[in-house]
Chains A and B, each alone.
Chain A
Amino acid sequence: MRNKFHLSASLQGAAVVTLVSVVACALAREASATRLVVEPSGGDQALSARVSAIAERIRLLEPRLLRDLPPEVKIVQWRNRR
């Protein structure tokens, strides 16, 4: 999965590309470009609805991210694995 990410030259060697970095940056770009107002969600909303909203937003912003996720992602791994 790592090789499918591309860093700007200034970041090579310094940064690790992570799902966090891709998601955080995609959301930041979206907020900056659209000044989108999103209804706040909170603890009262069902957990599954909150996760669905997150997944839907990420699918919209980074569709290739989902396509290239390895099948292992649906497995919760033993605590001494990476």
Chain B
Amino acid sequence: MAAPARERRDPAESRLRLLVLQPTPFCNINCSYCYLPDRTVRARMSLATLDLVCKRVFESAHLDRKLEVAWHGGEPLTVPLAWYEDALALMAKRCPAKVQLEHFFQTNGLLLNQDWVRFFARTGAKVGLSIDGPADLNDVHRRTRRGHGTLDRVMRAVHLLQDQELPFHVITVLTETTLDHPDRLFDFYVGNGIKEVGFNIEEIEGVNTRSSLAGHGMDKKFRQFIRRFFELVFAAPGQLKVRELESTIALFLSDEPARDEQNLPFAIISVGHDGTMSTFSPELLGVRHMRFEGFGFGHVATHGLADLAHDPLYRTINAEIRRGVEACQRECRYFRWCGGGAPANKLFEIGRFDATETMHCRLTRQVVIDETIAQIEARMSGPRDNALPLAAPKERPQQECLTWSSSGPSSS
């Protein structure tokens, strides 16, 4: 393929970091909190559409040296493996030599088998499994269309990945049901050899217009859950990598204020199965809102990424998002470690992109920041009367301490 002409780019603009591709809107299960309106639609992205995606993305001046490609549905594994064999080969062929592609699949795991595991191993694709904890926590929300629980089948996926020593992470959606069980959830991960976890929350978004976490007293209950879970993680360092803790500590150590890739135009490009393109929060693609007919800003057949910036809808939404971020910066003491929040959550909780505080930001930013600080301070100050209670040593295995060194292994 001839090298495409590069779009001119304002150096102040953000780099494209993440390409979210929706191979299909279809999902083979029916989670109670799902935000997607079209998850029964069995449409599939064609390879011709994917070829146009490659053209648009790889010619873009927003392109960086590394691009993460997230295959995110619907359930991506409902599309046959053979399609992905062709799709990844096509993307590798079209990708400029200096750009490193990294593929990532977020899946419910029900269809994962040995063939998929071999494919992930061969292509280096990363895998995320969606699991909400033990059966009574997972199966109350994550069900088949016939109402059956899904934990048994996703745990088969866990074991298949572990048998092949293929790293994976788990994403757990926290609902009110989960908040009483931080210890059980921690034990579930550690007991099943799960090494990495990230917490999402039951969000008000798309067709999911209510959240069990929006009720009276839920902020306090959520905080208690996070406090206890973080205690357990700190008390057994090395047992479990928790995305929220890792990213928050890293933000604390950064010299620069945080930025949120969801409110930076073109940091994320989302492409629907039909070639519709969007940017900002990936959840915007394929959902509807009373104020907007949709959130597609162009189509791969007719628009380059630079063209999206001229779309009137994009300009309206971008201006409103910018006002929201600026308002957060003026009003919120967490802004330095937040970056102004997720546009999709502002819109679906409050009705506007220029809103500020949401339930999503209180729970996933403010509480997480507060409780990360509290855990570290408790260890900086040593045990004291007013410090956070630390997890009881006899209840939990104590982990050997780690030393960070470039000169070789060490422990203390």
Chain A interface (Cβ within 8 Å of chain B)? Answer: 4-11, 14-29, 31, 36-42, 46-48, 50-51, 53-55, 57-59, 62, 64-66, 69, 72-82
Are B379 and A27 in contact, CB atoms less than 8 angstroms apart?
A: yes
Contact of B406 among A4, A42, A59, A73 (CB under 8 A): A4
Closest CB in chain B relative to A19 CB, distance in Å: 4
Closest CB in chain A relative to B356 CB, distance in Å: 16
Are B377 and A74 in contact, CB atoms less than 8 angstroms apart?
A: no
Contact of B241 among A16, A48, A62, A72 (CB under 8 A): A16
Contact of A74 among B258, B373, B387, B399 (CB under 8 A): B258
Closest CB in chain A relative to B252 CB, distance in Å: 5
Are B258 and A25 in contact, CB atoms less than 8 angstroms apart?
A: no
Between A and B, 29 residue pairs with Cβ closer than 8 Å are A6-B403, A7-B238, A7-B411, A8-B411, A10-B400, A11-B411, A18-B246, A20-B242, A22-B237, A22-B402, A24-B401, A28-B379, A31-B379, A40-B381, A51-B337, A54-B373, A54-B376, A55-B253, A58-B252, A58-B253, A73-B253, A76-B251, A76-B258, A78-B20, A79-B198, A81-B68, A81-B70, A82-B128, A82-B169
Q: Which residues of B contact A77 (CB under 8 A)?
A: 247, 261
4 smallest beta-carbon distances between A and B, as pairs: A15-B238, A21-B237, A8-B411, A25-B401
Q: Which residues of A contact B377 (CB under 8 A)?
A: 40-41, 50, 54
Residue of A nearest to B261 (CB): A75
Q: How many contacting A-B pairs (Cβ < 8 A)?
A: 200
Are B246 and A19 in contact, CB atoms less than 8 angstroms apart?
A: yes
Are A75 and B258 in contact, CB atoms less than 8 angstroms apart?
A: yes
Chain B interface (Cβ within 8 Å of chain A)? Answer: 17-18, 20, 68, 70, 72, 104, 106, 126, 128, 169, 171, 195-196, 198, 200, 233-234, 237-243, 245-247, 249-254, 256-262, 267-268, 281-282, 333-334, 336-339, 342, 364, 369, 373, 376-377, 379-382, 384, 386-387, 399-406, 408-412
Are A66 and B253 in contact, CB atoms less than 8 angstroms apart?
A: yes
Are B258 and A80 in contact, CB atoms less than 8 angstroms apart?
A: no
Residue of A nearest to B70 (CB): A80
Closest CB in chain B relative to A73 CB, distance in Å: 4
